[in-house]
Amino acid sequence: MKKFIPVLLLLITSITASAQKFGYVDTDYVLNRMPEYKKAVEEINKLSNEWEQELKLKSKEIEGMYASLQAEEVLLTPEMKKKRAEEISAKELQLKDYQREVFGFEGLFFLKKQELIKPIQDKVFEAVEKVAKENRLSIIFDKAADLVMIYTDPRYDYTDFVLDELGLADPSDVLK
């Protein structure tokens, strides 16, 4: 009897697993079809470029301070050299702090990206959830995620259903 129970559990598990329906969605494709996503990405890229330019300017200022120190080094007293070196070190610390504040973990870049993109992603995930429920799917994989899908059968692709749910269906797709 003890040997029968594990076999029965295995049989029940395999029957349950085979009854599950699954599909996949390419969220990158869906997001790239959304005008609000494209606009958010453009805004994030613009801000990122502005911050990078600011960092470059501050870095060049520090390089100029180094060059000035080296050029005038023979004319400066040890105290003056020390003071200039401390000023340069302070500027370098300010630059590192600013870089961390902008591009570090939970920095301005991260927060802005989350502010602009997360609501759009939530909208897509809600549409995916609705499509999954309407089609009685147990599992939906994201083709765009790190999960490697070596082969995908197009009949399990629910990307177009999600696009329809979001109102992003291409009118030319209807003719196909």
Go through 144-175 and write b for each residue having 16 or more CB atoms within 10 A of its CB, e for each that does not.
Answer: beeeeeeeeeeeebbbbbbbebbeeeeeeeee
Structure-block tokens of residue 99: 């870089």
What's residue 138's pLDDT?
A: 84
* Spatial distance between the Cα atoms of 52 and 11, rounded to a whole number of angstroms: 59
Q: Check whether 3 has a pLDDT greater than 60.
A: no
Q: In this predicted structure, what is the pLDDT of residue 176?
A: 44
Q: What is the pLDDT of residue 9?
A: 47
User: What are 92-95's contacts with CB under 8 Å, separation 24+?
Assistant: 92/62, 94/58, 95/55, 95/58, 95/59, 95/62
| pLDDT of 175 higher than 50 | no
Helix (H) or strand (E) holding 144: none
Closest CA to 162 of 140, 146, 138, 147: 140
Say if residue 4's pLDDT is above 50. Answer: no
Pick the range with the lowest mean pLDDT from 44-53, 113-122, 152-161. 152-161
Q: Is pLDDT at 82 greater than 70 in this prediction?
A: yes
pLDDT > 80? residue 20: no
Cα 163 from Cα 140, distance rounded (Å): 15
